[in-house]
Structure 1
Amino acid sequence: MPITLIILAVTCIVSFIAFGNSRLMNDLVLWPPAISRQREYHRLVTYGLVHADFGHLLFNMVTLFFFGRAMEGFYAGQLGTFGFALFYIGALVVSILPTYLKNRGNPNYRSLGASGAVSAVLFGFVLLAPWSRIVVFVIPMPAIVYALLYTAYSIYMDRRGQDNVNHSAHLWGAAYGVVFTLLVDHRVLPHFLDALLRPGF
């Protein structure tokens, strides 16, 4: 079974169980004091298995389903069968680390959801196929255009800081997706630059 589908299935199952089990939810979310004081380092990964609500879960898993399959093939070719799993777990950790360090002493802070890792998958895909058409809220657009809009929106909302969404994780996840992909195969950069000069939608 593809790694993407395994990640998707596990995330959906755990999230659905946690919706009705507050104890499980509290055991898995990123809660800084549990890491800094109790060394529950698993939370740097397990926070990505639980979501705030069904809409949050659906958006992340649909995005993962469509772009994860393409990226899984790429990473499998470069790193072997479990290449995508390595990439995805790394994305969960790297995307949340700045948030954890910033809120290390804040007992009131919690974060959850796979958005940072999903951002990494999406931005890795953009490097491989920047002009591929994707549909965002029924509006078709090139992947590269969506990536630029997504980045600008996340930066704006992160600075504004008036909602409960961890936009910082989105940005760090996106950066990780780009850097990791370029490190895995240096040929991706010239391919990306050449593709930008040959727009096709």
Structure 2
Amino acid sequence: MKIHYNAPVVLTYTFICVLVLGANLLLGGTLTPFFSAPAIFHPLYVVDYFRLFSHGMGHANWAHLLSNFTFILLIGPVLEEKYGSKRLLQMIGVTVLVTGVLNAVLFDTSLMGASGIVFMLILLGSIVNARQGRIPLTFILVVLLFLGQEVLDIFKSDNVSQFAHIIGGVCGAAFGFAFKKGRR
């Protein structure tokens, strides 16, 4: 039996995030500014453009990373097989960019982690088998359960960006309906 690198985007993303967190912890958190979305975006700072993408690779601690990648490793490979590696990578990139830009425009707090990607995958996965003119009941229930909970949690003071979760879910739903029937 051979081990198969079955989901290159999901697995590579996972390993990069593990390396980033490990290196950041070894270096006493000095990498955090490079792997978190800027609280205030400075158009003249080149690193801020990098951070609009890199925040999806940074995590506060192992518990944060594990909570995100439990879902990503469960859902991601199925979606990577359905949509293809290139398309999934594009969806991840767009979701991270959109959450980073909107966070910089609307909030004065930093953003870190793959939670937006998790919610993008959850919503995308719930409409994988959508047919023309039909909205799957599973999609409606997932929206009500996952995103409904995030809307309720907005009022908590917990250092969790429910906004990133909601935007990730919106991106996942948009991708799901835009790319239905697995068109590549």
Alignment map for 1:82-161 (pairs within 5 Å):
82-103=86-107, 106=108, 109-128=109-128, 145-158=141-154, 160-161=155-156
| Structure 2: gaps of 5 or more residues | 131-137
Residue 51 of structure 1, CA deviation: 0.7
2:23 matched to which residue of 1?
17
Corresponding letter in the other structure for 1:5: L
1:59 matched to which residue of 2?
67
Residue 69 of structure 1, CA deviation: 0.3
Corresponding letter in the other structure for 1:72: E
Alignment map for 1:1-12 (pairs within 5 Å):
1=5, 2-12=8-18
Q: Does 1:69 align with 2:102?
A: no
Return the match for 1:171 from 160, 166, 179. Answer: 166
1:152-186 deviations in Å (ceiling 9; x for gaps) = 1111122x15221110010010010010121122x
Tell me, in whole angstroms, the C-alpha distance in 2 between the residues paired with 1:184 and 1:145. 21
1:184 matched to which residue of 2?
179
Q: Does 1:33 align with 2:40?
A: yes
TM-score (ref. length: structure 1): 0.75
| Structure 1: gaps of 5 or more residues | 131-141, 189-201
Local SS of the residue matching 1:23: coil
Residue 88 of structure 1, CA deviation: 1.0
Corresponding letter in the other structure for 1:157: D
Tell me, in whole angstroms, the C-alpha distance in 2 between the residues paired with 1:14 and 1:110. 17
Calculate percent identity across the aligned residue pairs. 20
Give the paired residue count: 167
Give the superposed CA RMSD: 2.2
TM-score (ref. length: structure 2): 0.81
